[in-house]
């Protein structure tokens, strides 16, 4: 302890902590600084004493005089508010839908179809889709049509959609059930037909294991559908079904497919789902924003298009299916044609958009269109394309297409105005002078106020009248063998239904009979011509007629078919008989694949390679399937037989034995321009018949 005291004492001495230890001498600089500091300290003391005296005086004065003005401004009112607790931000919980809890996946499919307004369903059951079929067992809410083949179900749904404007609904099983609807889906995709397909699938745990009736349905149908999806969670079913119906019917309509694993449709939903999942789909914010961004551009395009219409000397309207699919389309089309005095031609799928009895009608154009429509397209200085896509059957040789319109476009006085809902179709085949993108009917309504009224176009219509006189719909009326000419059948049918065109729906297969129906039946109303255009599917006519009749039970529905096309789906006669669907079927029987033999005759020197077949007895076939049937052979009995067909209750069939080797004319051979067509000439036809007989040895 003693030694520690000594150490501390020594340390204090070193650091001058002890008052007894003398301090070291200061340098002259430090002396001056210390003296100055001492003076400052004395002055601070004096200032402090003075401030204290002043404060005391002020305190005494406050009790005797009003307060002085504050030196600093008062705080803003916001700073005087009482403190409050800030709650953390919380995401609002979505409103939940409990209505599906306890339902199986199949029952949810049934419920969602009802919410979408489905009244009719076409389909064929199978193992993987049984939970859905069990859910719709004895459902009183819609009618189920059971075909004889899944392809028939698909075409029935197409016919239903085309006749009603509502999406056709199909339910099939996995594997072959799904692959059998690929043809109808591709057909619907090409022709813009709304269709919703529900197909079964093996359980999710077996996917990829080559299980029984497993197929990669999503991969197979991706190229032939507008949209497809596999649902792997039962909670997703309402949302996916809403999306399917929205996509199938919006924009350019088309087919969609929902792949349903069996464990999803057979499972039970145990928890509520967000309310937004079960409500009808609304346009996304991105879609609305995109439309708003393009509005000004669209308005400018419409104004420029109207200016072209107003200065055109020889305009023509070329209308496609886009003018048929919307109820207001034909009305607006007529308004434009009447206001600006513009002739109208239509595509195969656009038949009925414009009344063909109107003087401004040029009927159908294209490979087998009217010669005067083709001539007008080539000579027009302005082509107004409404809901049409310039497919190859219309343009033929693109390099030779619309030379007058192209020349006018180069000079700024015409060209091609393309109203189109699908951007990919614009400038795909021909270059448009003005592209009016979006809903065709909406944009047509927008352009009409800008179009000037025209009283008449005497020179243009005089030229058209001359073409109509030179190139009428003409054909050989009577043959050497006394058989019925197929064109005559169509003409008589058109005459017999002239007072009920609005309630007469015609479906066709694919082949010569399809073109004769388009040429010689007079079309006056939309949704009355139902045929396979883009894909050209043989066998389409009969099931499509069944679908159309289901959609419009009070209409007269007639399937005009060829023997080869009809034979591909003839088993669906049984469907018509079973459900008493009162369709009428006309089979133009020439015992050959007529369109193919026509090409073989023109381009392959009458080498008819595998294009003739022996048909069944169609009358006996009809009787066997429970359908009333008759046959017409002689021209003089044709009209009475047609009257019998149209007046018979329930499904009925009329076989008409027709002449062979009858060409569809006019015809534009492949590689030619629209103006380079073949027309009927009696001398040429007789010479050709003789040549064919010589080559075939008959």
Strand partners, 198: 171, 258
Domain 290-470 fold: Rossmann fold (3.40.50)
Neighbours of 24 (CB within 10 A): 7
Going by pLDDT thresholds of 50, 70 and 90, the confidence category of residue 296 is: confident
- Give the C-alpha separation, 681 to 676, whole Å: 15
The pLDDT of 542-567, averaged and rounded, is 98
For 544-573, b where at least 16 C-beta lie within 10 A, e where not — what string? bbbbbbbbbeebbbbbbbbbbbbbbbbbbb
- How far apart, in whole angstroms, are the C-alpha atoms of residue 429 and residue 433? 13
Confidence (pLDDT) at 19:
41
Please give the Cα distance from 377 to 382 (Å, whole number).
9
Can you spell out the DSSP letters for 596-650?
Answer: HHHHHHHHSTT---S-B-PPP-HHHHHHHTT-EEEEE-SGGGHHHHHHHHHH-SS
Which stretch of DSSP H or E encloses residue 523?
Answer: none
567 contacts 509 by C-beta, under 8 angstroms: no
Could you tell me the two tokens for 320? 């496609």
The larger pLDDT score, comparing residue 18 to residue 532, is at 532
CB of 525 closer than 8 Å to CB of 501: yes
Sequence-distant (≥ 6) Cβ neighbours of residue 364 within 8 angstroms = 345, 346, 347, 348, 351, 370, 373, 518, 519
> Is it the case that residue 672 has pLDDT exceeding 60?
yes
Q: What is the mean pLDDT of the chain?
A: 89
- 10 Å CB burial of residue 80 (0-12, 13-18, 19+) is exposed
Q: Are 661 and 601 in contact, with CB atoms under 8 Å apart?
A: yes
Give the whole-angstrom CA distance, residue 497 versus residue 130. Answer: 44
With beta carbons less than 8 A apart as the criterion, state whether 556 and 584 touch.
yes
C-alpha to C-alpha distance for 239 and 618, rounded to whole angstroms? 47
pLDDT-wise least confident of 59-63, 417-421, 464-468, 492-496: 59-63
pLDDT at 649 over 90: yes
**26 burial via Cβ count (<10 Å: 0-12, 13-18, 19+):** exposed
Per-domain residue ranges of the chain = 97-281, 290-470, 486-664
The residues pairing with 416 across neighbouring beta strands, listed in sequence order, are: 383
- pLDDT value of residue 221: 98
The residue annotated as part of the active site, out of 111, 150, 158, 437, is 150
Let me know if domain 97-281 sits in CATH 3.40.50.970.
yes
In our burial notation (b when 16+ CB lie closer than 10 A, e otherwise), range 88-112 reads eeeeeeeeebeebeebbbbbbbbbb
Work out whether strand 255-261 and strand 273-274 pair parallel, antiparallel, or are unpaired.
unpaired
What backbone torsions phi and psi does residue 118 show, to the nearest 5 degrees?
Answer: -70, 130
Residues making up the chain, counted from first to last: 698
Active-site hit among 119, 144, 213, 639: 213
- Closest by alpha carbon to 581, among 597, 557, 615? 557
Q: What pLDDT shows up at residue 693?
A: 79
**Catalytic pick among 323, 364, 367, 595:** 595
Could you report the per-residue pLDDT of 68-84, keeping only the tens digit for each?
Answer: 555 666 666 655 556 55
Q: Tell me, yes or no, if 422 is annotated catalytic.
A: no
Taking a C-beta distance cutoff of 8 angstroms, is the pair 562, 588 a contact? yes
225 pLDDT above the threshold of 70: yes
Q: Determine the pLDDT at residue 50.
A: 55
Percent pLDDT > 90 in the chain is 78
150 is annotated as an active-site residue: yes
Q: In the chain, pLDDT over 70 holds for what percent of residues?
A: 84
| pLDDT given for residue 681 in this prediction | 87
Do 290-470 and 486-664 fold alike per CATH?
Answer: yes
Q: Residue 181 above 90 pLDDT?
A: yes
Q: Active-site residue among 34, 212, 291, 643?
A: 212
Q: What is the pLDDT of residue 21?
A: 44
pLDDT digits (tens, 9 = 90+) for 652-670: 999 999 999 999 999 999 9
| 486-664: CATH architecture | 3-Layer(aba) Sandwich (3.40)
pTM: 0.85
Answer yes or no: 595 catalytic. Answer: yes
Is-contact 455 341, C-beta < 8 A?
A: yes
């Amino acid at each position: 302890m003693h030694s520690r005291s000594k150490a501390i004492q020594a340390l204090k001495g070193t650091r001058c902590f002890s008052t007894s230890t003398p301090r070291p001498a200061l340098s002259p600089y430090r002396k001056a600084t210390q003296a100055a500091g001492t003076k400052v300290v004395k002055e601070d003391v004096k200032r402090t004493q003075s401030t204290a005296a002043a404060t005391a005086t002020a305190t005494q004065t406050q009790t005797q005089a009003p307060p002085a003005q504050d030196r600093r401004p008062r705080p803003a009112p916001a700073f005087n508010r009482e403190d409050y607790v800030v709650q953390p931000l919380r995401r609002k919980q979505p409103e939940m839908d409990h209505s599906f809890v306890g339902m199986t996946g199949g029952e949810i499919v049934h419920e969602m179809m009802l919410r979408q307004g489905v009244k009719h369903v076409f389909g064929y059951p199978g193992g993987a889709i049984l939970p859905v079929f069990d859910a719709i067992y004895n459902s009183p809410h819609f009618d189920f049509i059971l075909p004889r083949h899944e392809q028939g179900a698909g075409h029935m749904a197409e016919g239903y959609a085309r006749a009603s404007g509502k999406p056709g609904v199909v339910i099939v099983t996995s594997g072959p059930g799904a692959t059998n609807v690929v043809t109808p889906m591709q057909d619907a995709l090409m022709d813009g037909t709304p269709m919703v397909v529900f197909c079964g699938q093996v359980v999710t745990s077996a996917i990829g294991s080559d299980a029984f009736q497993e197929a990669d349905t999503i991969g197979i149908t991706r190229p032939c559908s507008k949209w497809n999806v596999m649902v792997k969670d039962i909670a997703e079913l309402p949302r996916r079904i809403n999306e399917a119906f929205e996509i199938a019917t919006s924009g350019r309509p088309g087919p969609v497919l929902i792949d349903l694993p069996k464990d999803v449709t057979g499972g039970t939903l145990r928890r509520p789902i967000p309310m937004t999942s079960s409500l009808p789909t609304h346009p996304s914010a991105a879609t609305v924003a995109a439309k708003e961004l393009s509005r000004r551009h669209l308005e400018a395009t419409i104004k420029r298009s109207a200016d072209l219409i107003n200065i055109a000397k020889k305009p023509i309207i070329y209308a496609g299916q886009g003018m048929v699919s919307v109820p207001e389309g034909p009305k607006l089309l007529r308004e434009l044609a009447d206001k600006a005095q513009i002739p109208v031609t239509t595509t195969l799928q656009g038949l009925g958009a414009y009344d063909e009895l109107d003087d401004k009608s040029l009927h159908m154009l294209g490979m087998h269109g009217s010669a005067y429509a083709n001539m007008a397209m080539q000579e027009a200085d302005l082509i107004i394309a409404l809901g049409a896509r310039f497919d190859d059957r219309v343009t033929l040789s693109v390099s030779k297409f619309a030379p007058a319109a192209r020349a006018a476009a180069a000079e700024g006085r015409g060209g091609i105005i393309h109203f189109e809902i699908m951007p990919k179709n614009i400038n795909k085949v021909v270059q448009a002078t003005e592209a009016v993108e979006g809903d065709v009917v909406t944009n047509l309504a927008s352009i009409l106020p800008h179009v000037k009224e025209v009283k008449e176009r005497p020179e243009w219509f005089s030229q058209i009248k001359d073409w109509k006189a030179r190139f009428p719909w003409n054909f050989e009326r009577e043959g050497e063998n006394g058989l019925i000419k197929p064109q005559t059948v169509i003409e008589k049918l058109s005459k017999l239904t002239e007072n009920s065109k609005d309630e007469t729906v015609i479906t066709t297969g694919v082949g010569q009979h399809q073109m004769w129906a388009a040429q010689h039946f007079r079309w006056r109303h939309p949704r009355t011509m139902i045929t396979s255009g883009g894909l050209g599917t043989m066998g389409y006519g009969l099931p499509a007629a069944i679908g159309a009749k289901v959609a419009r039970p009070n209409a007269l529905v007639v399937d005009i078919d060829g023997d080869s096309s009809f034979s591909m789906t003839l088993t669906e006669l049984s469907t018509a008989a079973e459900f008493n669907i009162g369709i009428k079927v006309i089979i133009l029987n020439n015992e050959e694949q007529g369109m193919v033999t026509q090409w073989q005759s023109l381009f392959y020197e009458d080498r008819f390679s595998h294009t003739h077949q022996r048909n069944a007895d169609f009358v006996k076939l009809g009787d066997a399937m429970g359908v009333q049937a008759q046959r017409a052979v002689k021209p003089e009995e044709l009209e009475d037989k047609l009257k019998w067909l149209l007046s018979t209750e329930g499904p009925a069939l009329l076989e008409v034995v027709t002449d062979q080797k009858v060409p569809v004319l006019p015809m534009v051979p492949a590689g030619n321009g629209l103006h380079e067509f073949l027309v009927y000439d009696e001398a040429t036809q007789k010479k050709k018949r003789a040549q064919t007989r010589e080559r075939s040895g008959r």
